[in-house]
A = this chain, B = another copy of it.
Amino acid sequence: MGQTVATIDDVAKKAGVSKGTVSSVFSKKRPISRQVTERVLEVAKDLGYFPNHVARSLAIKKTMIAGLKMPISKDSNMSGFEIQMINGVMKECSKNGYRLLLDTLPEHDDPTQFSIDPVDGVIMLNPRKQDPRIERYKQMGIPLVLVGRPDPEDETVCYVDNNNRDLGFKVGEYLLGIGHRDILFLNAASDMTVAYDRENGLAGSFAAQGIPYGSVQVLNYSRKMHYNAAEYGYRSIMETFGKKHYTAVIADTDRVALGVLRAARELNIDVPVRLSVIALSNDATVAQETTPKLTSVDQSAEILGAEAAKILIEKMNDSSIVHQRVIDAKLVIRESCSHLS
């Protein structure tokens, strides 16, 4: 009430100049004489005037904001992977003068509810199969970079991704190498491309050695079923140990692995002697501090995020470019797996 915010008009009037002049003083896009500049700045200060970012964005069709589209479940927090990725994105954006719009709102299906967001481009996490959002961003004319690969493959979309097939293959190779055959794979949700790629790679490692893949049991994370990632790991062990036979478990993320380790502790299962545990993502701070230290795959989440941001920034300046970068993940052997005796 009453107390209203000063606009460019107020300043122009009080300083006795045109709006264009005030605009130029602030944007510095055209030279304004020293005297006028000073008068305008003084009046602006008096009035408590600050340029309105939204109005400016509308006029120049640019917001200097990058969007980060990221699902979030109500009850679980960000995973180590997500946090590191955001860190990478954030630093890169900050360095280039971009802010970050974190968009964690749930998807809707009402066509009336979509809108062209106040962003110059977006980074989207975990695209799903046939993800309709990819086409939508194209229509909106908003540059898009995926973290994770599009499915089906699409030559026209930018993305950065781990080589998830290779990752699954390496893990399989490693576990087979130390004698494990009976493996419980706590995989990601089944509609995610990573889940497919990793299992595909794992199966590949068995095939390469002529070992039947049947001894691998795969579970999939489900938002409906599991309270959060750690619970997924915990419950899966609690419910299957003793019933199903396995000597090693592959956990989708470090969080899942924490749940697995907790369950093992409660059931008095010695890790890694009686059970080997390996995680498919690696929060450096966490993995090094568990007991035993967690053997895991380093997905370089921060690098992935930074790469995505770099590509996006490039693309926001030249929308015609397309980059697709696949980053190799590497196995970090710590203490949670042992040779099957």
Contact = CB atoms under 8 A, between A and B. Distances in A.
A90 interface: yes
Contacts of A141: 3-5
Given A100-B104, A102-B102, A111-B45, A91 B116 contact: no
A28 B118 contact: no
B83 A116 contact: no
B101 A105 contact: no
A41 B5 contact: no
A45 B290 CA distance: 52
A53 interface: yes
A315 B83 CA distance: 29
Given A84-B77, A139-B50, A104 B115 contact: no
Contact of A101 (B51, B100, B290): B100
A83 to B, nearest CB: 6
Nearest to A41: B111
Interface string A40-51: 010011001011
Nearest to A255: B285
Contact of A87 (B41, B45, B77): B77
A313 interface: no
A38 to B, nearest CB: 12
Contact of A58 (B54, B87, B106): B54
Given A63-B118, A117-B53, A28 B103 contact: no
A266 interface: no
Contacts of A3: 141
3 residue pairs, one from A and one from B, having the closest CB atoms: A48-B139, A100-B102, A5-B141
Interface of A: 3-5, 25-26, 28, 41, 44-45, 48, 50-58, 63, 65, 72, 74, 77-78, 83-84, 87, 90-91, 93-95, 97, 99-106, 111-112, 114-118, 136, 139-141, 258, 285-286, 289-291, 302
